[in-house]
Amino acid sequence: MYYLVMKIMLISEKMFLDKLPLIKFNIKKHTALLPTFELGKISKYSNTEKEILDKDIEILKKSDSLLVCNFDKSLTKNFVGSYCLIMMGIAYSLGKRIYLLYDTPNTQNKDKIKALEVIPLKGNLKEIR
């Protein structure tokens, strides 16, 4: 079976950024790109949310798809926060494929997330195609 090698941008909420390098390491058949905040591409003197978002959008534009690493947060299983929702909406408008590392969260945003035609991987990175 033939698979297209893709550039995949990884994102998560800030509290989970330290988990992204391991996810990147475990993506074997594609090129994984980390978000700006994790890479430290912006000076520590000018880390505004707008600058980070602008840089991440540029990374997303150069990517083929988006992988939202939606880990459990407190009592919320497969948490997708506001930053990830913003990036998912932008990815959708750019025609990018959107993956969720785990299943769709059972939250008030569930229908909005499903409307973005996300592909839940249920923890299996080999399902990225």
Question: For a pLDDT cut of 90, what percent of the chain falls above it?
Answer: 76
Question: What is the average pLDDT across 95-116?
Answer: 96
Give a yes or no: residue 2 inside a domain.
no
Number of domains in the chain: 1
| Lowest mean pLDDT, pick from 34-48, 52-66, 108-122 | 34-48
pLDDT of 69 above 90 = yes
Radius of gyration, CA atoms only, the chain = 14
Maximum Cα–Cα distance for the chain, whole Å? 48
Give a yes or no: residue 22 inside a domain.
yes
Quick one: pLDDT at residue 47? 62
In 3D, which of 20, 129, 26 has the Cα closest to residue 70?
A: 20
CA distance 43 to 40: 7
Question: What is the average pLDDT across 2-26?
Answer: 90
Quick one: pLDDT at residue 66? 98
Q: What are phi and psi of 20, to 5 degrees?
A: -65, -40
Give a yes or no: residue 69 inside a domain.
yes
| Lowest mean pLDDT, pick from 42-51, 80-89, 115-124 | 42-51
Give a yes or no: residue 72 inside a domain.
yes
| Residue 42 pLDDT grade (very low, low, confident, very high; cuts 50, 70, 90) | low
Quick one: pLDDT at residue 87? 97
Residue-number span of the structural domain to which 99 is assigned = 7-127
Mean pLDDT of the chain: 90
Strand-by-strand arrangement of the 97-100 sheet: 31-33, 7-11, 65-68, 97-100, 119-120
Neighbours of 128 (CB within 10 A): 20
Give a yes or no: residue 39 inside a domain.
yes
CA distance 64 to 33: 11
Quick one: pLDDT at residue 46? 63
Give a yes or no: residue 122 inside a domain.
yes
- CATH number where 12 lies: 3.40.50.450
Residue ranges in the chain assigned as alpha helix (H): 20-26, 36-39, 49-61, 82-93, 110-115
